[in-house]
Structure formats: C-alpha cells, structure tokens
Amino acid sequence: MPTKKSSSAKSAGKKGGARKGASKKGGAKLPASLAAAAAADDDLPSQAAEIPEQVKDFLQQTPVPKGFVNAKQVALLDLRKRVNEINIRPTVTVEKLLATVNRIRPSAAPVENLPEDVKASIPALKPGFRRFHGSKVPLYWFPLPWVSSPCGDRFGYMSSPAVRAATKLPFNAVSQALLGQLGNMMGDVGRDGNVNSQNPADPGVSSIPAGFTYFGQFVDHDITLDVSSSLDAEVHATKINNMRSPALDLDSVYGRGPGLDPFLYRFPNTGPSTAIKLQVGTNTPISAGGPSSTNGPGGMAQQTDWDVPRILGTQTAVIGDPRNDENLIVVQFHHAMLRFHNAVVDLLLAADFQGDIFAEAKRIVQHHYQWAVVNDFLKRVCGGAVVNNALATVSAPVGSPFRMPVEFAVAAYRFGHSMIRDRYWINFNFPNATMRQVFEFNRNPRLPVFSNWVVDFNAFFETGFSVPVNNKARKIDSVLANELETLPGFTGMMAVLATRNLRRGLALGLPSGQGMANAFGTPPMTAAQLTAGLPANEVAVLNSGGGTLLSRTPLWYYVLREAAVLGGGNQLGPVGGRIVAETFVRILKRDASSYLNAPGGFSPILPSATPGDFTVADLLNFAGITQP
C-alpha cells in the first residue's frame, strides 16, 4: 500500500489547479531579491538537485580545510583547564586532543549572527523546554537528500503573484512595528472575560469541544513543518522546504515505517510476523488519573502505560514528530493514536486475517482518520456546505504536483490558536488546570507523564461518557489566551504567538484578506465589520498609518475577524473556510492512498456511535482510552 508520494507525486511545482487566474503581469513590482523566485512561481522543479542557499553556504564554510593550522595556537595548559571546566572526559589524551583543536578554523558564521527567530529557537530545544512547535532551525541539520532532492516538498502560494503584489503589506520597519503593536495586544489580560466558562452562551465560548483545538494541532503536524523561513527578511514560499509529507498519511505517527524506524515499533514474539504494533510508554507512578468508571474520582485508576515511549534520562519522546510532545494534551492524543493502531492490529488478529496485518492496519487507521478529519473536524470548523463544495469542485488528479499553500499554513489554518483556552478540566484531580500547567506537566522533571495527570478525553470530545465538565474551545476570533503571550522557552517576539504569526505572514508576502476575498469572488469585509466589538486601542492600531491594516488586512487576522463577525466565532468565514477546506480536499484527492481514492469507495467499518460514520470520539473510544 503506498503511504508516501512517488517522485512525480511529491514534485514541488504547480499547485494542481490551486491557483486562480495566476498572472505575472500587473500590480506592484516585486523586489529584485524575489524576482527570480516569482518568475518561477508556476514552474515545475528541474530534475537537477536544488540545494538551498543556506545549505550551500554551510557546505562551503568547512571549519577544517585541508592543511589549515590556527595561527593563534591554544596552549596545552589552557586546554587542560577548559576540559576540566566543562567536565568532559576525552577519549584520547589531552596532548593528542590539542593537535586537533589547533586544526579547527574559527567559524565564519557564528551563532550570534543567525536570524533572530533561529537564534531564539535553538536554546528552546533543550530538554527543559523542548519547544519544537514553531521553532526554526537550520536546514543543514537535516539529511541533505531531504532538502536537495528535486522531488522534495516545498511551500507555495494559492494566490497569484499579481494578487499578492497588489494587496500585501510592504516589508518594512513601519509594517513590522504595526504588526508588533497589533499582535502584542491580542492576548492582553482582560480580553477574555470568561476564562473559566464552559457555557457556549457566554461571550468568547465556542460550541466546539476543546479537543478539536489539539486534534487540529496534531493534524497540522502530519502535513506541514517549516523550520527554515525567517522573520527578518522577505522570502518566497517556494524556497522553503516542507519537512513533512503533504499527505494525511500519519507519518508523524508511523515515521518511516518499521523498516527504517524500528524503534517506534513492537514486533511480535509469536503469531503472525506482520502483526507489528506501535510502542507505548510508561507513566511515573503517583496516583490515579485519567478517565473514571464512576463519573467520580473514585473511579479513576493508576495508569502505568498511558504515555508515549521516551528515552531514559532525557525523557525525549520517541515518536515520529517531536512537536507532538509539546504539551500534555497533544502528547496524550498522540498516545491515543498509538493505541488506535494497536487496537486495529488486534482486530485483524481476531479476524484471523491472513494478509499483511501491519499494512492493512495502517491503511484502516489512515482511512478512518482521514474520514474523521473531513467529516467531523472540517465540517465543524468550515461548515458542511463549504466542505461539500470543495469535495465536488476541487480538481486534483492522483499524483498531481502540489505545494503547500502558505495562505493555508501561515494564515487560515492558524485559526486554532484563537481556540486555545487559558484553563482546562484535565481530570478529577485537576479541574482547573492552567495552560502553563499543560506545558509544565509535559517537561522534566515531571516525565514520563505523571499517572495522576493522565488526560480524561471524555472532557474534550463527545465520547458518550459522562464527565462533570465538557471543555469548550474559545471562539474563533482575534482574542488569544493570555498564556500565548509568554510561550515557555522563548524570549522577545518569539514568545508572543500572535506577533510571530503576523510577522511570518509579512515575511512571506501573503496577500491581504481583502485580496483573497476578491480573488474568490467574495465581498470583502468592510472596515466597520473588521472593527466591530474591538477595544479602542486595537481599533486605533488598525486605523493608524492611514488605515493601512484596514485596507490591507493581514490574512491571518482577517480570517479570525471574519470568523468572529460572519461565523459567530463557531466556524470560519467564507475566505478562511474555503482556504482550509480546499487545501485538505486537494491533499486527499492527489494522494493515491487516501480514502477518497479507495477502489470502489470507502465507508468506515470500525465501531462508531453512528453506523457508517466515524468521528474523533469514535477513534478515542476504539483506542480504549476513554475508560480506565
């Protein structure tokens, strides 16, 4: 069963029909630095390897050129002192080490000269923080074939060059300052007046179960990973590698499969050799936690294996994508996906399935997951009519070239950031956990996940099991949880999520919300709609500079305001909904292994609350994590 794209399918070229009336003429002239990239915006990649400039520079800057001897020699006594100070134990004598030390040329690219976001991200990867989500790291950290292959995945645009040139904000200090002011106030204390409320009748509280916030994050980690774009300079999306396969293939769970990533798997000792399961981890024993069998604290059990696998000592998660270990809720969902696969393997064993059990279990898991993404998640956040229209109208032949549109990845799909709550009912032990605790209880020294902190997902999804509190997401609007203004492990701009999002869109030259609306043939929101219900200081920023942000509204912010004003905060508006729905449908239609391309069609077969349907709640129930 194909689970990855072939070379032709993974080619990064035209977006298989994603562009609407793309034209290279008209509109403002692009800066010279972007002219070549823009000229090739619609071209298929050449078949020659294309090594990114960042990697080229790195390869040219070897610290050990042949015959080099440092003019400023390190003395033996100084080296001994250094070895003792940093407490290392060399595997050779210090005398032999000295000869090598004096052959190393000082770096031509010191860390202090790295872009601001990369420089801030690297320390945040330490075990105490593990801030992989949103972090930017050098491309040359990855295997060269991943970033130089002509079929390597890249980001791209949904909008035409003309639309972007005519409607984007100029990349300059004025725009950066305006976006900094706007972003810095979106999560201000007091913006959300109902931090503790779970009642959708209260302002700011959505009718969407809060689990979909983190399911959306999990899905994002399945299809996109940008580690190299910069906030400091204007960059063309087609020059940025997408380090994830742009397919809902769960490579974040399965990695590269048991043949290349065997450490993710548990191979059978007896029975069919293909009955390969995914490894799960253990818990630090504290006390009972997780779901309850009695709808009370007395019904909880002390779980022993409700975490992902971890490396002893550092407690680094042994999973397909480290970002799924970012917080307690998403890592517990990843754990549920491990158990989901294992439950399907057991199902096939019970059925005495004689084929390749692993391959078939993986296909069943992927197809049910994809079905839930479209028919449960997307129809909630985009609206059923928008999703059905995308399914009916988007044309994307199997294997057609594709680039992940940044209008989706950097703007519209980041709607989920506004759904994050400041407080959650985790289980009977922690009925009012803060977002900071959700991060802290997934960090050393509280790893493996404490048994009393195991998440009760009955409080996050409509599983059919009773709990005292059903967590509801925040409404999709331009108000972010206050905790998102001080992200753990980051400093400065990188610690303020809203500012970071806005600056990312600016650097990538995203079209304005009005530009996308016009391209879609949708009436743009008026200034009165964009400012409706906003506090005076935010309206003042939008009006400053001659109302620049009201005429060229950043796409991410526009999508949030559109959802708040036109969607009531419970689903995306016409621009945001269409970008999200069409991107997912294109991803699925071009993937030969997706449920949309199953021979003879696909209908869910696993147990569910509604026969013939399959929801995220059904997935969790079948995974066996909604009861102790």
DSSP state of 310: B
What is residue 74's three-state secondary structure?
A: coil
pLDDT at res. 436 = 92
Mean per-residue pLDDT, 19-24 = 38
Q: Is the pLDDT of residue 130 over 80?
A: no
Q: What average pLDDT score do residues 258-265 get?
A: 89
**479-490 residue pLDDT tens:** 999 989 888 888
Statement: residue 8 has pLDDT above 80? no
Considering only residues 152 and 185, tell me which one the structure prediction assigns the higher pLDDT: 185
Answer with the residue of higher pLDDT: 89 or 384: 384
The whole-number pLDDT of residue 191 equals 86
Report whether pLDDT(40) > 70. no
**Which residues are 317's β-sheet partners?**
310
pLDDT at 423 over 90: yes
pTM of the entire predicted model? 0.85
State residue 52's pLDDT score.
83
182 compared with 29, residue with greater pLDDT: 182
Say what percent of the chain tops pLDDT 70.
86
DSSP class of 410: I
pLDDT, average across residues 19-45 = 42
Neighbours of 101 (CB within 10 A): 16
- Per the model's pLDDT, the better-predicted residue between 280 and 487 turns out to be 280
Residue 209's beta-bridge partner residues?
472
The per-residue pLDDT for 119 is 73
Which band of pLDDT confidence, cut at 50, 70 and 90, is reported for residue 131?
Answer: low
> Do 554 and 541 contact (CB within 8 A), yes or no?
no
Q: Are 589 and 493 in contact (CB under 8 A)?
A: no
Which residue, chain included where needed, has tokens 């309206």?
539
Spell out the domains of the chain, with CATH numbers in brackets.
1-28+105-149+164-628 (1.10.640), 66-104 (no CATH)
Tens digits of per-residue pLDDT, 445-468? 999 999 999 999 999 999 999 999
pLDDT in the model for residue 366: 94
Burial readout 246-272 (b: 16 or more C-beta within 10 A, e: otherwise): bbbbbbbbbbebbeeeeebbbeeeeeb
Residue 31 has pLDDT above 50, yes or no: no
pLDDT for 20 equals 38
Measured between alpha carbons, how far is 301 from 299 in angstroms, rounded to an integer?
Answer: 7
- The phi and psi torsions of 88 (rounded to 5 degrees) equal -110, 160
Q: Report the residue count for the chain.
A: 628
Q: Per DSSP, which regions of 425-487 are E strands? A: 433-434, 472-474
Whether 129 shows a pLDDT value over 90: the answer reads no
Higher pLDDT, 99 or 188: 188
- The pLDDT-based confidence of 79 (bands split at 50, 70, 90) is confident
- The alpha carbon dihedral of 453, 456, 461, 466 has a sign of negative
Q: Which tokens belong to 374?
A: 């479209």
Summary mean pLDDT of the chain: 87
> 90 pLDDT exceeds 80?
no
Residues 542-565 have a mean pLDDT of 97
CB 442 within 8 A of CB 129: no
3-state helix, strand, coil in the chain (%, to 5): 45, 5, 50
Give the model confidence (pLDDT) of 327-385 as tens digits.
Answer: 999 999 999 999 999 999 999 889 888 888 898 899 999 999 999 999 999 999 999 99
Q: What's the token pair of residue 63?
A: 């610290």
Whole-number Å distance between alpha carbons of 292 and 295: 6
Q: Which residue bears the tokens 């506090």? A: 535
**508-547 tens-digit pLDDT:** 999 999 999 999 999 999 999 999 999 999 999 999 999 9
pLDDT band at 144; cut points 50, 70, 90: low
The distance between the two most distant Cα atoms of the chain, rounded to a whole number of Å, is 76
Indicate left, alpha or beta for 550 from its phi (over 0: left) and psi (-120 to 50: alpha). Answer: alpha
Q: Give one DSSP letter per residue of 173-211, joined into a string.
A: HHHHHHHHHHHHHTT-TTS-TTTT---TTSTTEEEEETH
Tokens of 191: 């913006």
Side-chain-side CA neighbours of 245 within 13 Å: the count stands at: 23
- Whether the pLDDT of residue 45 is over 80: the answer is no
Q: What is the phi/psi pair of residue 206, to 5°?
A: -85, 165
List the one residue out of 365, 16, 373 whose CA is nearest residue 217: 373
Asked if the peptide bond before residue 200 counts as cis, ω within 30 degrees of 0, the response is no
